Structure 1
Amino acid sequence: MMKKLLNIVVLVPVAIVLIVLSVANRQTVTLALNPFNPTDSVLSASAPFFVFLFLAVIFGMIVGSFATWFSQGKYRKRARNEAHEAIKWHAEAEKHRTRAETIASQTLVPVSSK
Structure 2
Amino acid sequence: MAYDEELAERARAALKGVRGLAERKMFGGLCFTVHGNMVCGVVDDKLMLRVGADNHEATLKMKHAQPMDFTGKPMKGMVYVAPAGCKTAADVKPWVKRALEFVKGLPPK
Select the structure of larger CA radius of gyration.
1
TM-score band (shorter)? under 0.3
Structure having the larger proportion of residues in strand: 2
Give the structure, 1 or 2, with the largest relative contact order (CA under 8 Å, sep 6 or more). 2
Write 1 or 2 for the structure with the bigger share of helix: 1
Give TM-score, length-normalised by structure 2. Answer: 0.23
